[in-house]
Amino acid sequence: MQARNKYLERLKDCNRHKEPGLRLIMGSIGHYGAMLHDGSEYTASYTEKLIVDDVAVETILCQMEAEAVTEMLLKDYLDVKFWVSFQCKDELRLAHGENFANAAKSVWELIRKANAVGRLYCIDVNCVNPKVL
C-alpha cells in the first residue's frame, strides 16, 4: 500500500503525466519466474496488504488455464475488471500449442455469456518474440 500511494503521489508531480486521465494500479496474476528450486524467494507475504484497482491475467500459456482463471474471476470476484494476455510461440499458436484465435474466442464467449463484457479490458499477448507480432 505504501508503494501504491507513493507512486500515485509522485505521478502528480511527474512531467511525463500531465495529461488528465485515469491511472490504475493493476495486480498481475501470472507465472512467477522462480530462480531457486525450493521456491524460497516467494512467500506471498505481501497479500495481506495488497491494494489494486483491477487485475492483469498475464503470460497465459494454454487455453484451459485462461478459461479457468476467467471463470474464477467471473464467479468469485464480481467487482474486478481484468484483461487476459496469452503467450504465443508463433503467429498462430499459444505456448501449449492451441490456436490463439480459438483460445481468445473461448475466453470472450465465457465473458459474453456471463454478461460481463464491461469487466474486460482486452484479450492480448505478452512476453512474445517481436518477430511473432
- The whole-model pTM stands at 0.75
Position 10 in a domain: no
116 within some domain: yes
What share of the chain has pLDDT > 90, as a percent? 49
Give tens-digit pLDDT for 48-66. 666 777 888 999 999 999 9
Q: Could you give the angle at the alpha carbon of 74 between the alpha carbons of 107 and 28, nearest 5°?
A: 80
User: Does residue 11 fall inside a structural domain?
Assistant: no
Look at residue 108 and tell me if it is in a domain.
yes
Q: How many CA atoms lie within 13 A of 65 on its CB side?
A: 18
CB-CB contact of 93 with 53 (8 Å): no
- Residues 119 and 111 sit within 8 Å (Cβ to Cβ): yes
**Is 93 inside any structural domain?**
yes
Tally the domains of the chain. Answer: 1
Print the domain residue range for 77. 24-39+50-125
Which strand ranges, in their side-by-side order, compose the sheet holding 82-86? 26-29, 54-60, 82-86, 120-125
pLDDT single digits (tens) 19-42: 566 667 777 777 766 555 665 555
14 within domain boundaries = no
Q: What pLDDT, on a 0 to 100 scale, did the predictor assign at position 55?
A: 87
